[in-house]
Amino acid sequence: MFRHKSKIEIRFADIDAFGHVNNAVFLTYFEQARVRYFDEVLGWDYDWSKEGVIVARSEVDYILPVHFRDHITLYTGCSRIGNKSFDVSYQLLRTDVKGNDILVAAGVTVMVAFDYVKGKSIEVPALWKEKMENFER
């Protein structure tokens, strides 16, 4: 299911007083990977002030803590496409010293296609659906 991959750099500012990545930062990591997914899969190179997406819902399952020197990779995929919305799912993995990948977090965001000029949701454009479906095969 997860064909898209993004390396994530942990910034010192991401670390909280307990020495691990703050829970809110995981949503920023998801956003970074999601934008890369949109750029690479959909080829989004257009005027975002007219048409785009909004986040309607976010879920995160925190499984293990992530620390400053950890090597993490975020896998991203479109897991559902509806009429006006679609889901982007995530798996965040930490690579240990032996090269094993360990799941540290998982999540999903519900994305709504949106017309920013009219200020309302729209149907997911057919071209977006086609590109995501072809990539996810």
Work out how many domains the chain is built from and give that number: 1
3-state SS of the chain: helix, strand, coil percent to 5? 25, 40, 35
Per-residue pLDDT, 111:
98
Q: Is the dihedral of CA 136, 82, 73, 34 positive or negative?
A: positive
pLDDT, mean of residues 16-44? 94
CB 21, CB 94: distance < 8 Å = no
CB 41, CB 6: distance < 8 Å = no
**Residue in the structure block whose two tokens are 């934008």:** 35
Per-residue pLDDT, 51:
84
Per-residue pLDDT, 102:
97
Cβ of 1: how many Cβ atoms within 10 Å? 9
Note down the domain range covering 39: 4-136
Beta-carbon contacts of 10 under 8 Å, excluding residues fewer than 6 positions away, are 21, 66, 67, 68, 69, 70, 72
Q: What is the pLDDT of residues 94-130, one digit of tens each?
A: 999 999 999 999 999 999 999 999 999 999 999 999 9
- CATH number of the structural domain spanning residue 95: 3.10.129.10
CB 118, CB 52: distance < 8 Å = no
Q: What is the pLDDT of residues 40-68, one digit of tens each?
A: 998 877 677 788 999 999 999 999 999 99
Mean pLDDT score of the chain = 94
